[in-house]
Amino acid sequence: MFLRRTLPLLVSAIFGIALILQFFVPHPASKSFYNLMLDWLIIVSAFTYLIAVQSTVELHFTKIKRKVEGWQYSIIVLVSLFVTALLGVFGGAFMPTTLWMKIFPSVKPTDTTPLMYTYLYMQMPMQSTIFSLLAFYMASAAFRSFRARSFDATLLLVTAGIVTLGRVPLGEFIYKGLPDVVEWILKYPNMAAQRGILIGVQLGIIATSIKIILGIERKYLGGGK
């Protein structure tokens, strides 16, 4: 019980308070303490990546073993994982001083390492592809939201119409002052609403932090009381 509950709560409280105090102390000793904490965070995170790899391998290996639906994709995941890792370990991310070239002296320096090649010509296009889906999802979500079923929805529809129109050259062509109207909408009513939410969020963050430091909030440790 002490190791599972009391110790983590004590660590949270002590380091929570220490880092609050650190915020007010600009002395190098305080900065060193902060950097030490960051180093610890990086070290702990590095170990958790091993757990992440173990989780991924176990999950996909089980899928392949049990031949669950779409198990072929799991092979791609595992092959990609190991090939990328090997390319990184032996080839490095940047040329010319890589372990790869030391092992294979015949390999001449190029602008792109195999790892960077996979990043630039495989990962990046895949990322862009997923990101580009957003435009279509926005259109479908906007279509549903902007149906004028109630006063609120109508207000949303009209405002969105004005803002959309004011952001393109056609809007300015129709009415010269439209971009200014859009600017006003974004700067005042929209910003006021956003700030209202943000004040609540910040107070919520402070409240949660105090509860964590005082040990009142402990759900994040797992379980309840």
**Which segment (48-56, 90-98, 104-112, 170-178) binds other proteins by CB under 8 A?**
48-56
Nearer to other proteins, 6 or 145 (CB): 145
Among 108, 151, 176, 223, binds other proteins (CB under 8 A): 223
Nearer to other proteins, 123 or 154 (CB): 123
Among 10, 93, 155, 199, binds other proteins (CB under 8 A): 199
**What is the rounded (10 degree) CA torsion for 142, 144, 147, 149?**
-140
Nearest to 64 by CA among 56, 55, 74: 74
Q: How large is the C-alpha radius of gyration of the chain? A: 27
| Residue 104 beta carbon to other proteins: minimum distance, rounded to whole angstroms | 29
CA-to-CA distance for 166 and 172, rounded, in angstroms? 6
- Residues near 160 by beta carbon (within 8 Å), at least 6 away in sequence: 142, 146
| Residue 179 beta carbon to other proteins: minimum distance, rounded to whole angstroms | 21
Question: One-letter amino acid identity for 34?
Answer: Y
Q: Any contact of residue 153 with other proteins (CB under 8 A)? A: no
> CA 218 from chain center: how many Å?
24
Nearer to other proteins, 64 or 142 (CB): 142
**Which segment (49-57, 83-91, 100-108, 166-174) binds other proteins by CB under 8 A?**
49-57
23: tokens are: 């915020």
Among 66, 108, 144, 176, binds other proteins (CB under 8 A): 144
C-beta of residue 89 within 8 angstroms of C-beta of residue 72: no
CA-to-CA distance for 183 and 14, rounded, in angstroms? 47
Question: Residues interacting with other proteins, by CB under 8 A?
Answer: 20, 23-28, 30-31, 41, 44-45, 48-49, 51-52, 55-56, 58-59, 62, 69-70, 73, 123, 126-127, 130-131, 133-134, 137-138, 140-142, 144-145, 194, 197-201, 203-212, 216-217, 219-224
